[in-house]
Amino acid sequence: RFGAREVNDILTGTTRVSEVETPLPKNTLPLHCVQPMQDVFAEVAQVGAVTADKDGNALTRVSNSCDFCKLIMGSDEGRAACNESWRKLVSQEKTSPEFTTCHAGLQYARARIEVQGELIAILIAGQFYVQEPDTQEEKERIQALAQKYRISEDLLLQASKQISALDDRKVSQISGWLERVASTFEQISSERVNLMGRLRQIAEMSALNQ
């Protein structure tokens, strides 16, 4: 219905096409690619990681989650509190990762994932301490969490012993990795949007020539 040269020009970006503002598709972020990359990042960095949308809702499974956070998120109220913590990360003004304390007392940060200047998701890493917590403070915090989210205090206390305390060097390293992985997600998503746009143009040309 149209020449091979025309198709090649579109695919290589040679043909000039009038710019039309179209909203990004909902499936801009290819989760089937993101999940395994996120899994590897979390395992190598030895942190928990999740990718959330711009409303703070998880788009992926939590990678390398510690038992403490698994217990928290196993409760409906605890999961809602985690979602609210992720939502607060979305609204942070700084573009670079900035570690802060979540509702359960652990550290976490996010890197923005943007396509064509639009925020589509955030990559979150955390589930650790930046210094060893005070024993009494930690015990009281865990008691409060257990009561609030109706979790076994003994199980939560036992799980808390597995939470790592990372030094400044490690935290800085994780921040850098977080941004690099998020940047990779951006590149993959941008390529996906460009390809879908080119295929849409071909479909439109096909319809016009029918």
**Is 43's pLDDT higher than 80?**
yes
Amino acid at 91: S
Amino acid at 48: G
- Supply 12's token pair: 């290589």
pTM: 0.81
- Supply 30's token pair: 């290819």
pLDDT average, residue stretch 3-23: 55
pLDDT in tens, 117-167: 899 999 999 999 998 999 999 999 999 999 999 999 999 999 999 999 999
Q: What is the pLDDT of residue 192?
A: 80
**Is 16's pLDDT higher than 80?**
no
C-alpha angle 97-52-31 in degrees, rounded to nearest 5: 115
Query: Where residue 58 falls among pLDDT bands split at 50, 70, 90?
Result: very high
Tell me which residue of 93, 123, 120, 119 sits closest to 108, measured CA to CA.
123
Q: What is the pLDDT of residue 194?
A: 79
